[in-house]
Amino acid sequence: MMARKLRPATALTAALLSILSTSAFAADSVAIPAQTVDAALHAKLPADIQKSGVMTSVNNGSFPPYEIVTGNNTLDGASSDLADALAGVLGVKIEHASVSGMSGILSGMAAGRYQLAMGPIGDYPDRQAKNDFIDFVKEYVVFAVHKGNPQNINSLDDTCGKRIAVMAGGSAEQVIRKQSDVCVKAGKPAVTIQSFSDQPTSILAVRSNRSDAFFSSQAPLTYFVDKASGQLELAGKGKSNGFGDIYQGTLVPKDSAIRDVILAGYQKLFDNGTYAIIMKKWGLQDNMVAAPGINLAKAQP
């Protein structure tokens, strides 16, 4: 099995990020309701957060249409809108910080540099051992391929001998590594696994013919395909592709004092309609869930 962690092509990545700065889904006319501070929830926040009035949410780069990094500490997208609304409910400011890869998020959280990662980040039982998830969406994993799907990649079985881009440290990388082992045991070529630190660089690898496909979450891939001027399409839709039900949510340290406060804050956004407005604004209505919950994932992919 071949596995490579590739660095971004700086100039090309910068160009792609500039294209991504304007969403294909977001409508400027969509008004997100102003939130009223819930004094009872604010009082349940840890004393240091109440005193500073700030929580820091960490991300690992652009994950459109949820997280679109627009500067060193600035963010756009559905998760940015949700963060602003949640901050309004809790009576604090939620600031944003970017790190490299999932490992950067997890180590930063463990070190106490960040209170949460809005995400959404994939919720799996093995991650629940050291972290808790406040789940607010369901996701599906598919392939972004060249228009016309010249490599005929429609399922995991079709990835043997192909160059497949994935997010480093993510659940899709785990699944594609297992599939590569399956290929080898069946006497077929291993998957060439290309691990990237962010979504834009991964999709750029497909557009520039360095990868045959990008295996990742359907929501961002729908966004990228829409922005690719007819160069790409989605493949493998409607199939399990190595996954069961996929819940994603906001990550906090295990048994964090803010976990239940964030859950209650999300519930208010669900109840008052703000959650639905934000999700529909960004074309994510198919990823909505009926209610937020803690560690909803019960099975490992």
State the Cα torsion 5-73-115-167 to the nearest 10°: -20
156 with 75, same domain? Answer: no
148 with 200, same domain? Answer: yes
Residue 63: is its pLDDT beyond 90? Answer: no
Residue 301: what pLDDT? 58
Distance separating alpha carbons of residues 98 and 94, to the nearest angstrom: 13
pLDDT in tens, 272-296: 999 999 999 998 988 999 999 999 9
Looking at the 3D structure of the chain, how many domains does it have? 2
211 with 77, same domain? Answer: no
The pTM assigned to this predicted structure is: 0.77
187 with 44, same domain? Answer: no
> Do the beta carbons of residue 32 and residue 277 sit within 8 Å?
yes
43 with 132, same domain? Answer: yes
Residue 258: what pLDDT? 97
> Do the beta carbons of residue 280 and residue 151 sit within 8 Å?
no
Q: Within a domain: residue 113?
A: yes
Q: Within a domain: residue 202?
A: yes
126 with 95, same domain? Answer: yes
Residue 2: is its pLDDT beyond 50? Answer: no
Query: How far from chain centre, in Å, is Cα 92?
Result: 24
Q: What domain range includes position 101?
A: 39-138+245-288
pLDDT over 90 percentage in the chain = 70
End-of-domain residue from the set 206, 233, 260: 233
Residue 24: is its pLDDT beyond 50? Answer: no
* Cβ count near 43 (within 10 Å): 10
Residue 74: what pLDDT? 86
Q: Within a domain: residue 18?
A: no
* Cβ count near 192 (within 10 Å): 18
